[in-house]
Structure 1
Amino acid sequence: MSGLSYLEKLLDGVEVEWKPLGKVLERTKGTKITAGQMKELHKDGAPIKIFAGGKTIVFVNFDDIPEKNINREPSIIVKSRGIIEFEYYDKPFSHKNEMWAYHSNNYAIHIKYIYYFMRVNESYFQQIASKMQMPQIATPDTDKFKVPIPCPDNPERSLAIQSEIVRILDAFTALTNELTNELKLRQKQYNYYREQLLSFDDGEVEWIDLDDVFDIFAGGDVPKDLFSDVQTKDFNIPILSNGIGNNSLYGWTNKAKIDLPSLTISARGTIGWTSYRTLPFFPVIRLLALTPKLTSKFQLNLKYSYYYMKTIEGDYRVPKTGIPQLTKPMLKGIRLPIPCPDDSAKSLAIQSEIVRILDKFDTLTNSISEGLPREIELRKKQYEHYRNLLFSFPKPVADN
């Protein structure tokens, strides 16, 4: 039976009653605690988890906060200020008192089923919160929010349907988490091998200054008369800044300043961040461009130099006074290891082999068209697709 037909059978003919969340679950309060107290009370490995705004958490002992403020039931935690989201937790916990949580006292209501439905609707609450100067929601926003209860007149069947929906979504979540953990492991492995492959003993390499093998250019002003916010037939050369990944795209122009495959290094903000560029581009202020010198006596694989520069991204000694900035003169003194400098063929062969190995790791850990990132993205989309199907109950006339 296909996944879709199974879902159709699971939900076929199911009647739904939409009930206010506050009528379905019990709302609980948190504990009065300051950020300073949380920091002071935190103990690694302590049994009580305390949630604060955003991703802030600490762990405390049972006698660190009032017993009445400790929640022991599996619950949905409402993060109500700043970052608006819902979190499920099934161990003893508390939270700052501007937040609140819900748990179920009804055997026919699966708390995690309600949690998954609230996650589907996070954007609704984020939209409400955005109307405030400090994004926040209030208890009536969640108390009055209606949730779908399948087969309300048949508690056993209702719980069975809720439990099956939870089982399916838990399976997708577990698979995504497994892939994410695998990706973290591979990234550590990649960093380890990169460090090993690009660490050389004395006598194996010659250390040369960057300006012996690269022409170094500082980015210029944006060409205002030759600038477009969008890519067009005439304006198809990317203008690049010091951002990371897609955030480096500033706009488009019609004439490149750098035509050859090059490296770029962020000079401000994300100082040291190195990118490998194969297409023509126009660098702006805050970005340095390194183009291989055609007249250099050293044979250099550009991708090899890219991988080496990635290992020293955090090592630049930038003055702390004023606005921290990496400059051309600072780069000129950076040294690059060239293996077997007196044997060009052997040198290039070693560089190429290092690139081949690291390219494989890079594809596995970073590629959005191949490797684990692509697999994770596909699983997330699959999860969202089935989640939407599982919660596609007919909406009431007076909708949320």
Structure 2
Amino acid sequence: MSRIDALINELCPEGVAFLELQELFDTKNGYTPSTTNKSYWAAGTIPWFRMEDIRENGRILDESLQQVTEEAVKGGKLFPANAIIMATSATIGEHALITVPHLSNQRFTSLALKPEFSSLLDMKFAFYYCFVLGEWCRNNTTTSNFASVEMSGFKRFRFPLPPLEIQREIVKVLDAFTELEAELEAELEAELEARRWQYKYYRDALLAFSDQDIRWAAMAEVGEFFRGRRFTKADYVEDGVPCIHYGDIYTQYGTATEKTVSHVRADMASSLRFAQPGDLIIAGVGETVEDVGKAVAWLGRDEVAIHDDCFAFRHSLNPRFVSYYFQTTAFHAEKNKFVARAKVKRLSSESLAKLTIPVPSLEEQARIVAILDKFDALVNDISVGLPAEIAARRRQYAYYRDRLLTFKEAA
């Protein structure tokens, strides 16, 4: 029997009390001080937390990437130290324990423990239990303009209150387990990054053809470009016409795909434009120069609707070969010369048509694709190699954490 089990048997054998979030915490929405008032952001000293802070520095934080001045604080009141910020829109469920007085942006709801419960709830324990809350949030969202948590249910979410001695013992165990898991994951991430660089090196070398005398051609010589037609996220449905939006190409897809993550209404079919099996679908716009020109080979059995900021490249080459070439350093160096660098970066079909591509024999294309498919699976497929090991570590940690945080409720 573990020490925690022994404590539960001794201190709360009949179960523990649960209280609603709104009973335990004062809640407050985050906000962004006016960005037009430059004095709010000049030499500020008050931490202002965004999702980027959690991504960059973890989940227990005492400093932020950006600071604001005192005059930027609404009503002169800061969120108190040792409060939890929970993302209740956009990156739902992400959270952090902030150990200093602070502000946060509007994605977050602040949970500050009411003073009368300070002797009943350890905030580090509450932080760990917010992983359970975060999962509840992801399963209880509304989708009007964008996903957000159903807040009336959020406020009724119930926290367990085991004796403080048990809470602190659980925190001690989870702190140690978190540190161990982070060390193991860092080692795996470093190994994965090394594999990615190795993969990039061999991909670029294979597709440079420096030791072969092959034909290079402008893309207009080996295929045609077709632009998609407009649809919006308001047109999305669960089951309809398969479609690919330009943003999905650099967030949802790899080298090739046989199915889509999105569908639009079936009654729109006559107004859409479609890519055919074997076409390369290319993002014509992006927030960065690197995003523009990302591509995915469409290998589905049927045609697929494409957004008007996408191009379909119809050709007689091996589609995976073309998609792999679009990932190379050489291709991006040439492509970058043609990107229109406005606020939104763009590539035209005329510019794409001028880019050059190697045209080896179909047998050589197939040979290269077979090699790169193995590399790609090892590095990127979540079910193969190091990514699977990292995912397994995270699942193991989440399972163990959830077991520790499961309590019988007292009658």
Q: Hey, what does 1:272 align to over in structure 2?
A: 293
Conserved in 2, the CA contact under 8 Å of 1:108 and 1:158? no
Cα distance change on mapping 1:381 and 1:271 into 2, 3 Å: same
Q: Hey, what does 1:375 align to over in structure 2?
A: 389
Cα distance change on mapping 1:291 and 1:281 into 2, 3 Å: farther
Deviation per CA, 1:151-190: give whole Å up to 9, x if none.
Answer: x3xx434422443355446655665566556545644554
Rounded Cα–Cα distance in structure 1 between residues aligned with 2:224 and 2:346 = 19
Q: Extract unaligned runs of 5+ from structure 1.
A: 222-227, 232-237, 293-299
TM-score normalised over the length of structure 1: 0.61
- Work out which of the residue numbers 51, 56, 76 in structure 1 matches 2:84: 76
Rounded Cα–Cα distance in structure 2 between residues aligned with 1:133 and 1:264 = 27
Instruction: Kindly tell me the number of residue pairs found equivalent between the two proteins.
Output: 356
Matched, 1:102 2:85: no
- Work out which of the residue numbers 146, 160, 164 in structure 1 matches 2:169: 160
Q: CA deviation at 1:390?
A: 2.6
Between stretches 158-167 and 201-210, larger displacement belongs to 201-210
RMSD: 5.6
Rounded Cα–Cα distance in structure 2 between residues aligned with 1:195 and 1:101 = 50
Q: Which amino acid aligns with 1:102?
A: A
Conserved in 1, the CA contact under 8 Å of 2:282 and 2:296? yes
Matched, 1:60 2:67: yes
Conserved in 1, the CA contact under 8 Å of 2:125 and 2:170? no
Cα distance change on mapping 1:27 and 1:326 into 2, 3 Å: closer
Who wins on radius of gyration, i.e. which is larger?
1
Q: CA deviation at 1:308?
A: 1.4
Cα distance change on mapping 1:325 and 1:166 into 2, 3 Å: same
Residue 326 of structure 2: SS of its match in structure 1?
Answer: helix
Cα distance change on mapping 1:122 and 1:38 into 2, 3 Å: farther
Matched, 1:15 2:32: no
Cα distance change on mapping 1:83 and 1:51 into 2, 3 Å: same
Residue 368 of structure 1: SS of its match in structure 2?
Answer: coil
1:315-354 equivalences under 5 Å are 315=336, 317=339, 326-327=348-349, 330-338=351-359
Residue 293 of structure 2: SS of its match in structure 1?
Answer: coil
TM-score normalised over the length of structure 2: 0.60
Q: CA deviation at 1:148?
A: 0.9
Conserved in 2, the CA contact under 8 Å of 1:77 and 1:100? yes
Cα distance change on mapping 1:369 and 1:131 into 2, 3 Å: closer
Q: Hey, what does 2:49 align to over in structure 1?
A: 51
Q: Which amino acid aligns with 1:76?
A: I
Conserved in 2, the CA contact under 8 Å of 1:239 and 1:284? yes
Q: Hey, what does 1:121 align to over in structure 2?
A: 133
Q: CA deviation at 1:147?
A: 1.4
Overall identity of the aligned pairs, in %? 23
Conserved in 2, the CA contact under 8 Å of 1:10 and 1:161? no
Conserved in 2, the CA contact under 8 Å of 1:264 and 1:275? yes
Rounded Cα–Cα distance in structure 1 between residues aligned with 2:134 and 2:339 = 43
Q: Extract unaligned runs of 5+ from structure 2.
A: 54-63, 230-236, 254-259
